[in-house]
A and B are shown apart, each in its own frame.
Chain A
Amino acid sequence: MTDRVPILRIGDVLLVSIQVELEDQMVMDLQDDLSQRIVDTGARGVVIDISGLDVVDSFVGRMLATNAAISRMLGAETIVVGMRPAVAMTLVELGLSLKGVRTALNLERGLKLLRRLAAGPADRA
């Protein structure tokens, strides 16, 4: 019940690697923890690695979208990385396009994208 998803700090990036099956409470805790950590650390970027998730339902999908929106307001860009192809196909059919959530194929590309975003004007992709 009290399991929490760990948040690692690497420079000014927070890395969240979801390696366990998510229960709804963990999803909500992650949202709280992450916004707090952004404020505490002044992180400019967040990478959420979901390669460990074989299922992303509307609850988790909404968390990813909400997280991206909250983080942006706190000055950090969020990149979701590692989505499995079957998960992407399922999300689209579910009707969850995750608009407003930046994605990258893997961690390396996600970090690269963050660096590029940090270098460019704040308001463009």
Chain B
Amino acid sequence: MRDYAATGAPPESLSVGNSSDVVMARQLVRTLAQRTGLSLVHQTKLVTAASELGRNMLIHGGGGIVRAATVDDAGRTGVYVEFEDRGPGIADIELALTDGWTSGDGMGLGLSGARRLVDEFGIESGPDGTTVRIVKWGR
């Protein structure tokens, strides 16, 4: 995945420490998706993915920071969103990305489902935390 954080417009950021912040993060991504001109279906998929990743960041990562920006690449425009936490990390990323796998009492669909809903998906995780980056492109 390209380093969109370095190339795009300066991101809007929001710190997520409780569940109402997850709602705010959703709104931030929704506003950006609308401004970027994503279709309604693309907006819905992106905001849903952001909701899953924002909640993961809160529940599994103890909270963190969401950054979102409009990005351009080869004539297309999209929305880039990054979720960074300083939680315990994900020991086995492949496993975590398996449909139905959860370490808690969730459905284990958040991470794998979010990946399906976007066009680009990158994840880095270690003992110092987890960063998930996604991009949804417009047409």
Residues of A within 8 A of B (CB): 1, 21-25, 54-59, 62, 84-87, 89-90, 93-96
Smallest CB-CB separation from B51: which chain A residue? A57
Q: Contacting A89 at CB < 8 Å: which of B27, B41, B113?
A: B41
Residues of B within 8 A of A (CB): 19-20, 22-23, 26-27, 30, 40-41, 43-45, 47-48, 51-52, 55, 99, 106-107, 109-110, 112-114, 116-117
Chain B contact residues: over half helix, strand or loop, or mixed? helix
Chain B residues with CB under 8 Å of A93's CB are 45, 113, 116-117
CA gap between A21 and B30 in the complex, in Å: 12
Determine whether the beta carbon of B51 is less than 8 Å from that of A55. yes
CA gap between A56 and B45 in the complex, in Å: 10
Smallest CB-CB separation from A89: which chain B residue? B41
Determine whether the beta carbon of A94 is less than 8 Å from that of B48. yes
Determine whether the beta carbon of A57 is less than 8 Å from that of B112. no
Chain A residues with CB under 8 Å of B47's CB are 54-55
CA gap between A21 and B47 in the complex, in Å: 12
CA gap between A24 and B44 in the complex, in Å: 18
Chain B residues with CB under 8 Å of A95's CB are 99, 109, 112-113, 116
Determine whether the beta carbon of B52 is less than 8 Å from that of A58. yes
